[in-house]
Every structure is written in C-alpha cells, then in structure tokens.
Amino acid sequence: MSWDGKQFGRPLVMLLRDDVQTLCKVRGYKPGEEEKLLLPEGRSLSSELALSLLLHHGKQEEAVNLLSYAIVPRVGVWWAYLCYRLVTEDIERDKAKDGLTPPERFKKQQKQLLDQLSDTSDIEAMIEERKKAMEAQVKELEQLAREQNYLNPVDRMKLKLACIQREFAEFEQSLPPGSLGKPDAPIAMEATLDDILQQASEDLNGYVEKIQFDQRVKEGASRMNDPIFQAIQQKTQAIEPEIDKVMKKYFPLKMKGLPPKPSAADKTRAVEAALRWILVPSDDNGKLACEAAIAAQDGPESLLAYSAFWSSTNLKTETGIAPTNIGLPPLGISKTLLQLALMEGGELDYDKRYEEFLRLGIECADGTCTWDEYGKPVHAAQEGIKKTSPDDSVFQSRFGFGRNEQPHT
C-alpha cells in the first residue's frame, strides 16, 4: 500500500480486523454513493484495501471517515485529540497576528469594504477634471467669438464659407471613390443619398449623446452636494449598525430555561478529560469524560469527551447495566473531526485540515505516533524497521500503542 509514497509502508496494526461489510453492519459505517461504486458490495474488502482505493481516487475526506470506523476506538480518540490540537494551535497562531477572532476579522473586512464602496473621491476627481475641461472649451469658444467680432460681414461670410468647404472636402474624402459622381453627371443614386443621410444622422446622435453625458455628469455632481442625497446616504449607512443592534438583542438566545453558555474552562476540561481517559481508560475516567462532555454542551470538545466515554464505559440504569452501542465511538470520532474541519479561523482551510487529519490518522493506525505517560505525542523511530515484515513480535509496546524494533536473539 502507498499514499503519496510517504505512508502505508507499514501494516496498519491499529485497525479493527473487520472488513468493510462488517463495519457497515456492526459499527454503522455508511459509505456515500460514490464510495459504493469504489467499494462494491458482496465482496469481502479489508479496511486497508478500502482506504487504498479511496485514496487512489483522491477521496481524502471519505478515507478519514472510513478510518474513523475502522480504527481501534482508544487509538481513534487519541487521533481525534491530536487533530484537535492541530486545529486549535493553528487558530491561535492566526489570531496572534492581529489579535482578532474570526468574527471580529470578518466584521473588520466588511467595514473596509463598506468604506471602499462609499468612497466617492475618485468619482469626484473625474467630475472635477471634466468640469475643468468644459470650462476650458467654453473659454476657447468665447475667445474665437471675440476674434470674429473684428471681422466685417463680408469677411465673416467668407470664413463661414471656407469652413463649409473644408468640412465638405473632409466628408468627400471619407466616401468611397466615385460615390458622388461627376459634376455634370445625373443626380447621385438613392443608395448614396441614404448613406449620406445615415452618416449625418450618426454624427448628430454622437453629438446628442455627448451633450446628454455632460448633462448627467453635471447632475451627478450637483446631486452629491444636494442635502437630500446626503441625508439618504447617511440613513443608508446607518442601516448596518441598527441591524447589529437588533441581532445582539435577540441572539444568542436569552430565553428563560436555557442552560448557561459553557465557558472556555468547560471546553478545556472536556479535552483534558478525554486525554485522561486515553492514558487510563477506566470506567471512572469514562464517567468523568461524560460529565465534562455534558458541561461543554456542544462543539468538538464535547464530542471528543463523549467519544472517550462511549469507547469503554457502559451505562448504568435502574434495572442494571446497559452496554454502550459499539457504533457510537466511531460516530463520535467522525463527527469530532468534521466539527474541527468546520471551525473558524486559522490558515488551514477545510480540505487542508482533512489532509492533515488523514496524515495523523495513518500515523496512529500504523503505531508510529503514540503518547508518553504525560499524554505528549511520541513518534516511534523509523530507522531499521522492516517494512515488508508483518511480524508484530519485533515491536515492543510503549505507554500508548507504538512499537520499537527489538534485536533478534
């Protein structure tokens, strides 16, 4: 088996020896429609082979879900604990950059976008530039008019005639050769006259559009300085703060009878309870994990503690002992990882988180990532391990479940 040429080189000794069919029937594993095509029913397919098939087709998230159901529950809780540390540490590093939580950073980005959209300085600069250009044109026309006042009527008429002749010459050059015909020829064809009229109409429309554009620019400039427009703009900008004010009044819910919102300490105690059970998976520690999960109420911290409780501790009822459903531990592990992938903040996106979850899961499943007596991760040495040997007798148990190679006697 291989995954990116980096893992699966060792047997996954921490997987349950059930095949995929058994995982579905006994532990509640439910492959999706696409996974069913890759994992055909009616065939005895080992968990390791199923993981290989999913990864070969790029199904990393689906492989993580399958691994949640196939891994030994205690090792699975340890895996989920490592993933929790991975995500929370990434979020804390990201928060340390500017000291903002994800909601605070999102609100800051919204305000920056609103300020950017409401900033009209560039439009005002364009209007001012256009206004100066129009004033310059007016001054130029006034100057030409003053100069023409010094001409007598005859010279003025000659000037107008010269302008008409020049414009006609330019128009004649723009037409196809021979369009107007010879001076002594019959009148121009009807099509040629239509072309001339169309050209004149297009020129006129161009002048009209220019006048209309200049008028709109002028109206826009006057509108921005209009008190009514400014009052509307102020009311529009005041909408967002009012919405926030109303939302804060009703959300989060403040109905009577609702349990108090769990504190950060409650969340931390749930994670610590799960780790305590990993180190010593006793019934007492399982009950403590359950109590901590109830106090944490929701979120990955609560699910992690519940996963520890479900993995070993039976339920005590008035009529006796009720064995815990063996499908609960993998469900808790899977949903813990999903909620961790959906947590806000951090530099790792959803897909990257699942990629890291899978990397850690394989390390836990093949016994290379274990824990010491204080609950700190320990990576077994890779050097000298015979990857082709399936014989587990060459490995020695540690505080967790890792293995070291032993010299042959």
Q: What is the pLDDT of residues 243-297, one digit of tens each?
A: 677 666 655 556 666 667 889 999 999 999 999 999 999 889 999 999 999 999 9
Query: 18 and 49 in contact (C-beta within 8 Å)?
Result: no
Burial category of 24 from C-beta neighbours within 10 Å (exposed 0-12, middle 13-18, buried 19 and up):
middle
369, part of any domain: no
222, part of any domain: yes
331, part of any domain: no
Contacts of 378 (CB under 8 A, 6+ apart): 369, 370, 371, 372, 398, 399, 400, 402
Name the least confident of 171-185, 313-327, 365-379: 171-185
d(CA 164, CA 49) in angstroms, rounded, equals 90
175, part of any domain: yes
Which residue reads 């006793």 in tokens?
282
Kindly tell me if the per-residue pLDDT of 74 is higher than 60.
Answer: yes
Q: Where residue 176 falls among pLDDT bands split at 50, 70, 90?
A: low
227, part of any domain: yes
Averaged pLDDT for residues 234-241: 70
Domain count within the chain: 1
150, part of any domain: yes
Give the DSSP letter of residue 399: S
| Domain that includes residue 196, residue range | 118-237
74, part of any domain: no
Q: Where is pLDDT greater, at 63 or 1?
A: 63
Which residue reads 């530099």 in tokens?
347
pLDDT in tens, 10-35: 678 889 888 898 999 889 999 888 88
318, part of any domain: no
Q: How far is CA 51 from CA 59, 80, 83, 305, 390, in A?
A: 9, 18, 19, 26, 18
Instruction: Give strand pairing partners of 405.
Output: 395
Q: Report the run of H or E that residue 379 belongs to, with start and end.
A: strand 377-379
d(CA 230, CA 149) in angstroms, rounded, equals 46
Q: Where residue 172 falls among pLDDT bands split at 50, 70, 90?
A: low
